[in-house]
Each structure stands twice: as structure tokens, then as C-alpha cells.
Amino acid sequence: MAEPVVRVPETKVALSTASVYPESTATAFEIAARLGYDGVEIMVWTDPVSQDIEALRRLSDYHQVPVLAIHAPCLLITQRVWSTDPWVKLQRARAAAERLGSAAVVVHPPFRWQRQYVRDFVTGIWRMAGETDVRFAVENMYPWRYRDREMLAYAPDWDVTKDDYRHFTVDLSHTATARTDAMAMIDRMGDRLGHVHLADGKGSAKDEHLVPGRGTQPCAELLERLAANAYDGHVVIEVNTRRAMSAAEREADLAEALAFTRLHLVRPGTRPAAASKTAASKAQASEPASEGASASEGAAAAGGSSAACESRTPGASGAHPS
């Protein structure tokens, strides 16, 4: 019996609903289903659907796309979403994750001006993590930069490995913006790495969230290490497509991201040479639509079915909720 051309890796790859901004949460489910993603991560933000558990359940059931993770409303623009009390926000995020069958809640470290929240954050996260099977995965952030000035906006620290948490989320756009060594950060996280936000960056002061492979971050190396170490969390594509000129261009970017991720998540020794060549050539073909790519090419390379983080760094433009 002939070997399959492409083997889909075991690690589930989800689409962050922030990746379709300025389109809606509902659109993210449609695109995830069409391109063959394994699920979605809900960015809870100002879109009312993202805050409504029953609406999310209906979308999940209709599209047959599970909600694999919940991103708690930690952004500047979500300070009043699900209460102004940050602990209430996390309690509601946990409840949403439990009701929707999600494995993880992604949470940012507090802003420095949330003084009481900062004081209680590490012990509070441990307490909440002990009350549920859902992973509270604290995400690395970055200093805010404007010209020659730097502001440390997060506490206890933007580098979450300096504190003791049960689970971490690593975000490779944030490592680029922080200008820190992503693989060294992964090493420090060790077996507490519980969740991955996959994107790329070039070290700009802006939180870029580029399609993996278009920046300087070790996206492929990270994925290959996850595969080699039998990583048991999810990988979430969290990229910025707000500048896409059309729906087709947005889908081409998201198909390329999925193809890249699945290609590099295949465990060593399980990828036939034909699969490597086929997936690699098709991943290259799925450049932005302006260069002739199509979403269907990227989805085929990924082996898929046919069927808002801060970008608000001082001096940054746009309002992408990633």
C-alpha cells in the first residue's frame, strides 16, 4: 500500500480568532473549517460573539470546529470586557473553557499599574490552576518601545520565565519584539511549556505577528523540537492579516501558516521524502495572493480538509487584537 503524500501530525493546530481581524469571530470559525484547522482559540475581546459562550458553542457545533483554548480579555481595549476586575475575567475564562471543552486559558501578566493584581498574580494563578484541569498558561510579553525610550509595562515581568508558573504560553512574535532568544526562553520553560502562539517577527518595536517563515524567529526549529519531544499542548496560529486586500489574500496567508506548521510538526523519521518536497514546494507557492497564491494550495500542502495580545505598543499603528 502506497505511503500517504502528507502525514498530518498529532499536535493540534488551532486558528486564533484574532488572526482574521477585522473580520468577526464567526468568520474565524468559517475559515478554520474551510482550511482544515483542528480548532480555534477564542480571543475574548469587543466582538460580542467572542464573549457569549452559547453563541460560541453553536458556531463550534455548526462548523464542527472545537474551541481548543480561550484567550482571557487582557488587552488595553478589553479592560471592561467581562468585568473590570481581572480575577473575575479569569474566572469567566475558566468557566468558558470548561463549558466548551477547551484545554487552556491564555493569560497575560498584569500591567504595572494594576498594583494589587500584580502583588497577588503568581500565587493567584497557582490557586486557580489547582482548581481545574484547564491549563492557565501565562504568556511572555515584551517591553514597550518608542524611538529611544523603553517602558516596562508588565509586572512582575514581561519575561514570564523569571517567575514560577505551572504552565507557560510562548509567543514568537513577542520574543521578536522583546529582542530575546526564543529558543533559550523555551529551554527555561522546559516541560512547563503548555501552549504555543506561532507567528513571526523581525524585531520591530511593533508586535508584528507575521506569517511563520516571513521573519527572523526560529519558527521551524521550535516546531521541530516540539515534535521531537512529543509536546502535548496545542499550537495556535496568531498572525496579523488586517492588511490583506481581500478575503482570498487573508485565506492564502492562513493556509500558508497552516502548511508551514504541519510540515515542521511531523516527527523525525515519519516524513517521507516525497512529503517533504511536496509540502515545501506548496508552502512556497502559497505566498500572498498578490503573488499568485491561492488558499486551496496552502490547505492542500497542510493536509487539511476541503471542507486582541497587544499591538498597541507606543508608536504602533492599528488595533489588531493579538
**pLDDT of res. 185:** 98
Q: Are 250 and 19 in contact (CB under 8 A)?
A: no
- Position 99 scores a pLDDT of 98
- pLDDT at position 297 is 41
Q: Is the pLDDT of residue 296 over 70?
A: no
Task: Spell out the residues 6+ positions from residue 245 whose beta carbon is closer than 8 angstroms to its own.
Answer: 289, 290
Residue 130, pLDDT above cutoff 80 = yes
Mean pLDDT of the chain: 86
Overall average pLDDT of the 81-90 stretch: 95
Percent of the chain clearing pLDDT 70 (strictly above): 80
User: Phi and psi at residue 256, in whole multiples of 5°?
Assistant: -60, -40
Please compute the mean of the pLDDT values over residues 291-318 and round it to a whole number: 38
Average pLDDT over residues 278-295: 40
pLDDT value for 71: 98
- If one compares 145 and 49, the residue with the highest pLDDT of the two is 49
pLDDT score at 209? 97
Residue 304 has pLDDT above 70, yes or no: no
In this prediction, residues 132-150 reach a mean pLDDT of 92
Q: Please state the rounded mean pLDDT for residues 93-102.
A: 98
CB neighbour list of residue 313: distance below 8 Å, 6 or more residues apart: 142, 144, 145, 146, 177, 205, 206, 207
Does 75 or 308 have the greater pLDDT score? 75
Distance CA 218, CA 92 (A): 34
pLDDT tens by residue, 262-286: 999 987 665 444 444 444 444 444 4
β-strand 144-146 against 149-151: which pairing, if any?
A: antiparallel
Q: Is the separation of the CB atoms in 157 and 164 below 8 Å?
A: no
Lowest-pLDDT range, 97-101, 150-154, 299-303? 299-303
What pLDDT does 290 receive? Answer: 36
Look at residue 189 in the predicted model and tell me its pLDDT: 98
Contact partners, residue 1, CB within 8 Å, separation at least 6? none
Q: What angle do CA 15, 224, 134 make, to 5 degrees?
A: 45
Question: Which residues fall within 8 angstroms of residue 116, CB to CB, at 6 or more apart?
Answer: none
pLDDT at 208: 95
Instruction: Evaluate whether 186 touches 167 at the Cβ level (below 8 Å).
Output: no
pLDDT number for residue 79: 86
> pLDDT-based confidence at 316, cuts 50/70/90?
very low
